[in-house]
Amino acid sequence: MVQGKPTKDIINGVIITSLIFGISINLPIIGFLCALLLPLPVIFYRIKLGRKTGTIIPVMAIIVMSVIVGAVTFDMLFFYELILLGFVLSECIGGKLSVEKTILYSVGAVLAAGTAALVVYSNLISIGLFTLVSDYIAKSLDMTLQLYQSMGIPEETIQAMSGPMETFQYYLIRLLPAMIISLMLFIAWMNLLIVRSLLKKKNIFSPDFGSLNQWKAPEPLVWGVITCGLMLLIPLSQLKIVGFNGLIILMTIYFFQGIAVVSFFLTKKQSPRLLKIIIYAFIALQHMMLLLVIGLGFFDTWLNFRKLDLKEDSQ
């Protein structure tokens, strides 16, 4: 159902989406964080306005984004995919799927579309897909070094960083599939949590995913972690690359479970909102805390910190 004034909502949706995009391409660090929220207005207004009217916003946003940049470039593929992710997420929410299917179907559709677009693009310019991606990463790393140079970082530090750059590039290219999948899973998960809260506040249809702080990953995934870990012990570079890719994706999934455990106990203790914000910010900024949360989610499979099975049995 269409709620509110469609024309006003369409204008607001396009403006908000374009504003997020403008910040994303003009501010290096803050901009990347803003880019993660690009699917949010697409999801919100698609659900509020319905499919027919809500589709206007992502289409208009893509046109505005292309006009701002001045061309449809290789770099724009990431932003187009975020817009598509928002739309597919909203479609899955409207289909009343489970939270797992909503995220997996959306991310799968976006990755398939992105891969197809890359294949078509590489064929149009007669460059192999692997070469295309390798050249792009090499240019990005060079631009990063130039950015550090312009920021006044000492030349010795720049040279020390540029020394192992070829090795870093080699592994980055081969771990890129898992990094992209993990990033898309995280973006989908984050936007789903935020839009769910927004929809409830606006009294608009909100997906009933249940209490997400009780969510846990399927138990068979533990064997995936064990298998990927064993691959790292085999002296074959191809198997090690597969193992690393698998571990990165699985660590992302167990991060979601770890955050659910943290949220469960913060809610149980009725912690104030300010304390929750501080704890979540600390997890985001501290790598050791991030690994701790992943470990918390992984071992929750066996140790059942939240005693979920006991609660279900008592009911």
Contact 175, 248 (CB under 8 A): yes
- Distance separating alpha carbons of residues 90 and 205, to the nearest angstrom: 11
pLDDT at position 309, please? 67
- Distance separating alpha carbons of residues 41 and 107, to the nearest angstrom: 17
pLDDT at position 311, please? 53
Question: What are 291's two structure tokens?
Answer: 């690994």
pLDDT at position 4, please? 52
DSSP state of 246: H
Query: Is 121 in a helix, a strand, or coil?
Result: helix
pLDDT at position 1, please? 47
DSSP state of 213: G
Q: 128: alpha, beta or left, given left = phi > 0 and alpha = psi -120 to 50?
A: beta
Between 39-49 and 56-69, two packed helices, what is the crossing angle to 10 degrees? 150
Helix intervals (H) in the chain: 6-26, 28-35, 39-49, 51-54, 56-69, 76-94, 99-124, 129-150, 155-162, 165-201, 221-231, 237-268, 273-285, 287-303, 308-314
Alpha-carbon distances, residue 34 vs 96, 123, 191, 276, 286 (angstroms): 28, 32, 12, 21, 20
Question: 0.85 cut: is pTM over it?
Answer: yes
pLDDT at position 315, please? 42
- Distance separating alpha carbons of residues 297 and 258, to the nearest angstrom: 4
How many separate helices (H) and strands (E) can be counted in the chain? 15, 0
Could you list the pLDDT tens digit for every one of the 315 residues in the chain? 445 578 889 999 999 999 999 998 888 778 888 889 999 999 999 999 988 899 999 999 999 988 888 877 777 888 999 999 999 999 998 888 889 999 999 999 999 999 998 888 888 888 888 888 888 888 877 777 776 667 666 767 666 666 677 777 888 888 999 999 999 999 999 999 999 888 888 888 777 777 888 899 999 999 999 999 999 999 888 899 999 999 999 999 999 999 999 999 999 988 898 999 999 988 988 888 999 999 999 999 888 888 876 555 444
Alpha-carbon distances, residue 287 vs 34, 148, 247, 290, 294 (angstroms): 21, 22, 17, 5, 11
Contact 39, 83 (CB under 8 A): yes
Q: How many CB atoms lie within 10 A of CB 266?
A: 17
Residue 44's contacts (CB-CB under 8 Å, 6 or more residues apart) are 13, 195, 198, 199
